[in-house]
C-alpha cells in the first residue's frame, strides 16, 4: 500500500512533468518563426506500483509519472521526400535559368536579332542588283554586311560569357557543398557527444537537417542515418560525410568554352584527382549539363560559327562567278580568319563599290544579275536564314521544356515542404491548447500536494487530541 509520504513523491513527479511540458511548449512558441525548427513534445510515462514483499496486500497505486525526455516530432519519410524533390528542383532550376538567359540573348524575334540582320543583308543585295555600281548603294551593302558580321560575333561572345559565368557559378556551388559538408560533420560530433552524455540535441538535429537539405539541393546528396546520432551524406554511393570526417569536391576541366569537347568540366574528389564524380541531381549536375559539349551553350556557339561559315560559303560561291564594274572576277565577298571560331572571324573583303561583283561576266557594268542571285539565297532550301530559324525554334523548345520541368519540380518540392511543415512546424493553436492542459495538470498536482500536506498535518499534529 502506498504510504501518505509516498503520495508526496507522486504529486512532486506530477509537478515536475507539468513543468517540463510547459517548458517545452514555451520553447516551441519561442521558435514558431525559426526556420528549420521542428516542434517538440515532452515524453512521459507512468511509474508503476512497487510491492513491498510477497506478503504485502492492499491497494497498490502507481508511483506517479516520469519524464523520459523531449521528443523531436520529425518524420524521416517526409524529410527524405523534401531532400529528393530538392535535388530534382535544384537541377531544373539551373537548367531553366540558363535556357531562359540563352533564349533572351538571341533577341529573336526582334530588330536586333540575327534574323533581322540577315534580312537587311539580303535586301541590300537586292537593291544592289537594281543599282549596280552605285556608290551609295554599295555603302549600304557593306554597312549591312558589317552589321551582320558584328551581330554574329556579338552573339557568339555573349554565349562565351554565359558559359564562363555558368562555370564560375558551378565552382562557387562546389565550394558551398564543401563548406556545408564540414558543418554537417561538426554537428555529427556535437550531436553524438550530447546524446551520449544524456543531453538534448534536438536543436542541433534541426540545424543538421537544414544543412543536409541544402546539400541535396546543391549536389543531389542523400542522407543515411547511422542510429548513433550521426548521419552519412552520400553522393552516388560515395560518402561525402562519414561521422566527423568529410571528403572535399573539386571542379576540374577546361576554363574556356572552346575546350568543352576535349576537356569537359566535371567534379572530382579532391583526394582522387582525375576520377569524375557522377552526380544524380542538384544544382551542380544541372550546371555541368549546361557546360557540357552536348549542352545548349556549346551548341549555340557552334550554331553561330556554322551560320557564319554558311553565309561566307554561299555568298562567296555566287560572288566569285560575277564581275566588278572594272571586269575583275573570282573575288570573295567574305573572309574567315584562320585559327579563330568562324563566328568571330567573319569579315567583309570589299571596301567600296569597286570590289563588289554585282553583274555577270561580260554583261556590262549595268548588269545586277549576280547581286540578284545572292539576294535569292535567302529563299533557298538550305539558306542561312532557314538554318538559323531551325536552331532558334529548337532553342525555344528546349527552353520551354526546361521551364516546364522546373515548374513541375518546384511544385513537387513545394508539396513536400508543405507536408513536412504540417507535421513538423509549430501550430500556435495546438500549443495554446497543450499549454492549458499542462497548466491544469500543474494546478491539479499542486492541489494534491496541498491536500497531502493537510492530511499529514492532521496525522502528525492532531492525532490523539480528541477528548482532551
Q: Are residues 94 and 39 in the same domain?
A: no
Q: Are residues 315 and 362 in the same domain?
A: yes
User: For residue 460, what pLDDT band results from cuts at 50, 70 and 90?
Assistant: confident
DSSP 34-47: STT---EEEEEEEE
**Does 458 or 34 have the greater pLDDT score?**
34
Q: Are residues 313 and 171 in the same domain?
A: no
Task: Write down the pLDDT at residue 189.
Answer: 94
Domain-embedded: residue 406:
no
Q: Are residues 328 and 357 in the same domain?
A: yes
Q: Are residues 273 and 200 in the same domain?
A: yes
**Residue 461, C-alpha cell as written in the block:** 499534529
Q: Are residues 151 and 255 in the same domain?
A: no
Domain-embedded: residue 421:
no
Detail the DSSP E strand segments found in 280-424.
322-323, 334-336, 346-348, 359-360
Residue ending a domain, choose from 229, 263, 293: 293
Residue ending a domain, choose from 260, 293, 326: 293
Closest CA to 385 of 311, 301, 318: 311
Has residue 55 got a pLDDT over 60?
Answer: no
From the number of C-beta atoms within 10 Å of its C-beta (0-12, 13-18, 19+), residue 126 rates as middle
Q: Are residues 28 and 140 in the same domain?
A: no
Task: Write down the pLDDT at residue 464.
Answer: 67
Mean pLDDT value of segment 7-19: 87
Domain-embedded: residue 46:
yes
**Residue 215, C-alpha cell as written in the block:** 546539400
For residues 144 and 148, what is the distance between their CA atoms, to the nearest angstrom? 6
Domain-embedded: residue 64:
yes
Task: Write down the pLDDT at residue 89.
Answer: 95
Q: Are residues 130 and 217 in the same domain?
A: no
Domain span at residue 328 reads 114-156+298-394
In sequence order, what are the beta bridge partners of 334? Answer: 348
Domain-embedded: residue 417:
no
Strands 231-235 and 346-348: unpaired
Has residue 222 got a pLDDT over 60?
Answer: yes
Q: State the total domains in the chain.
A: 3
Query: Which region among 118-127, 157-166, 452-461 has the lowest average model confidence (pLDDT)?
Result: 452-461
Domain-embedded: residue 308:
yes
Domain-embedded: residue 44:
yes
Task: Write down the pLDDT at residue 2.
Answer: 52
Percent of the chain with pLDDT over 70: 95
Contact 233, 223 (CB under 8 A): yes
Domain-embedded: residue 198:
yes
Mean pLDDT value of segment 458-463: 76
Q: Are residues 247 and 338 in the same domain?
A: no
Mean pLDDT value of segment 255-268: 92
Has residue 384 got a pLDDT over 60?
Answer: yes
Task: Write down the pLDDT at residue 298.
Answer: 96
Q: Are residues 225 and 257 in the same domain?
A: yes
Q: Are residues 314 and 456 in the same domain?
A: no
Q: Are residues 88 and 221 in the same domain?
A: yes
Residue ending a domain, choose from 244, 277, 293: 293
CA distances from 100 to 238, 281, 397, 409, 457 (A): 33, 20, 11, 16, 83
User: For residue 1, what pLDDT band results from cuts at 50, 70 and 90?
Assistant: very low
Has residue 326 got a pLDDT over 50?
Answer: yes
CA dihedral 10, 13, 14, 18 (to 10 degrees): 180
Could you tell me how many residues make up the chain? 468
Amino acid at each position: 500500500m502506498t504510504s501518505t509520504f509516498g503520495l508526496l513523491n507522486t504529486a512532486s513527479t506530477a509537478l515536475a512533468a507539468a513543468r517540463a511540458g510547459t517548458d517545452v511548449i514555451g520553447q516551441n512558441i519561442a521558435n514558431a518563426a525559426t526556420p528549420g525548427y521542428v516542434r517538440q513534445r515532452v515524453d512521459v510515462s507512468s511509474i508503476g506500483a512497487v510491492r513491498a514483499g510477497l506478503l504485502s496486500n492492499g491497494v497498490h497505486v502507481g508511483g506517479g509519472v516520469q519524464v523520459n525526455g523531449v521528443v523531436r516530432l520529425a518524420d524521416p519519410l517526409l524529410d527524405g521526400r523534401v531532400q529528393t524533390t530538392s535535388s530534382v528542383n535544384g537541377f531544373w532550376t539551373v537548367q531553366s535559368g540558363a535556357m531562359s538567359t540563352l533564349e533572351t540573348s538571341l533577341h529573336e524575334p526582334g530588330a536586333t536579332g540575327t534574323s533581322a540582320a540577315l534580312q537587311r543583308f539580303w535586301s541590300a543585295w537586292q537593291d544592289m542588283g537594281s543599282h549596280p555600281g552605285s556608290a551609295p548603294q554599295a555603302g549600304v551593302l557593306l554597312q549591312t554586311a558589317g552589321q551582320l558580321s558584328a551581330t554574329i560575333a556579338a552573339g557568339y561572345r555573349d554565349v562565351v560569357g554565359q558559359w564562363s559565368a555558368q562555370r564560375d557559378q558551378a565552382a562557387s556551388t562546389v565550394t558551398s557543398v564543401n563548406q556545408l559538408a564540414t558543418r554537417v560533420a561538426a554537428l555529427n560530433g556535437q550531436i553524438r557527444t550530447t546524446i551520449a552524455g544524456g543531453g538534448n540535441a534536438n536543436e542541433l538535429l534541426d540545424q543538421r537537417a537544414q544543412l543536409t537539405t541544402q546539400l541535396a539541393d546543391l549536389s543531389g546528396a542523400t542522407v543515411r542515418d547511422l542510429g548513433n546520432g550521426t548521419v552519412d551524406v552520400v553522393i552516388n554511393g560515395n560518402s561525402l560525410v562519414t561521422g566527423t570526417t568529410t571528403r572535399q569536391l573539386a571542379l576540374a576541366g577546361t576554363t574556356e568554352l572552346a575546350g568543352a569537347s576535349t576537356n569537359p568540366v566535371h567534379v572530382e574528389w579532391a583526394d582522387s584527382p582525375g576520377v569524375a564524380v557522377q552526380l544524380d541531381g542538384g544544382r551542380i549536375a544541372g550546371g555541368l549539363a549546361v557546360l557540357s559539349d552536348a549542352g545548349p551553350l556549346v551548341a549555340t556557339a557552334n550554331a553561330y560559327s556554322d551560320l557564319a561559315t554558311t553565309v561566307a560559303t554561299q555568298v562567296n560561291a555566287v560572288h566569285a562567278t560575277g564581275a566588278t564594274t572594272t571586269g575583275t572576277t573570282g573575288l570573295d565577298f567574305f573572309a574567315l580568319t584562320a585559327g579563330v571560331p568562324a563566328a568571330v572571324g567573319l569579315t567583309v573583303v570589299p571596301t567600296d563599290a569597286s570590289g563588289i561583283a554585282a553583274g555577270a561576266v561580260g554583261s556590262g557594268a549595268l548588269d545586277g544579275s549576280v547581286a540578284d542571285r545572292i539576294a535569292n539565297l535567302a529563299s533557298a532550301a538550305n539558306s542561312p536564314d532557314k538554318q538559323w530559324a531551325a536552331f532558334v525554334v529548337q532553342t525555344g523548345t528546349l527552353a520551354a521544356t526546361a521551364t516546364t520541368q522546373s515548374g513541375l519540380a518546384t511544385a513537387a518540392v513545394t508539396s513536400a515542404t508543405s507536408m513536412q511543415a504540417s507535421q513538423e512546424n509549430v501550430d500556435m493553436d495546438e500549443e495554446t491548447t497543450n499549454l492549458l492542459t499542462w497548466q491544469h495538470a500543474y494546478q491539479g498536482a499542486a492541489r494534491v500536494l496541498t491536500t497531502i500536506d493537510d492530511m499529514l498535518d492532521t496525522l502528525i499534529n492532531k492525532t490523539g487530541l480528541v477528548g482532551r
